[in-house]
Structure 1
């Protein structure tokens, strides 16, 4: 968030998006919630999801490559959930640990992730109500620019709907593949704020027509400003 705030205020963004907890940052950057309230949500989200993860052992595994339909079928056949559909040949399965150990879709590689639970699945349902109560107490505003939702890649501007979707996403899959499709249809450039690199990497592989920039350090701010300004000019022209 600090990285984005360091950019020249003359630069405007037509859309913002965040992956998983990054949706809270996106909401703050769009003016839906304050930076302070964003941090309150991030803190509470972490606490409540940790509590939910402690209820029943579960985990996640990245599935890399392979045919998409074959991978999704293998995940479903084991009673697992495609918790993160990241596009670019990357799907994260989540659920029962024994089922994850059996996951081996033909033509794909499976890598267990060092996480505490099955995030973005029904395992996280106990965390939803406390977060919903906190969200209800937060002042919201309609977005200054479109916010792309992890639920389905839809562009949302209504502040309360954005926050409601963020809360619900705790126990539902992240469709980052659909978010990237929305970006590809609406922007010529995408700038990722710190910690940067992962999302622009996915974007480069999935939709190479969108130019990307990863803002990783203070030394990159001037170049990031130039990148944003150039793409703003392309939109205005």
Structure 2
């Protein structure tokens, strides 16, 4: 019996992979926040407790996600699946989710923030030092006015817990090598422009801004 050439085998595998991806994409429907109510049990244990702190691999409050855009939440979960974000707990959770789960959970948390009062007014003006850092990083170009009107898959930053923001920005400096590393090339380039004290200043300012982000206590999910 003749064997297939390596080239033919490779082409066959590539075609099969593309067909599988296409079929998988067709199976994913628009996110359903009602369906997500049965899927968020693993989320509310951390994100449903106000001020809850992660203790491994670094201590910080877990981020508020109610009110973030569905696009951002989906992008973050896919990044954990791919290993671009290396937080061990979140990687394990994301790995257990299907594309449909991610779509459902993402729209759920976006909608969840809309049921709560939005902030009014502008944030306080940054100090001259912080203003220079914001301009150096060109933060508003992606995260929007008052760091609360982001474009595309970027997150709202305003009012997010400052200790989480600091750890997140610092993690981009590791190029994904550490247990909390992140490998996004755009954010890695931005984060590397700053020293740790400068990142701390930025994080403290960001955390002081009025926010549309919320933590909805677990009892309110039911």
Larger Cα Rg: Structure 1 or Structure 2?
A: 2
Q: Which has the higher contact order (CA 8 A, sep 6+)?
A: 2
TM-score, normalising length: structure 1: 0.27
Higher strand share: 1
TM-score normalised to the size of structure 2? 0.28
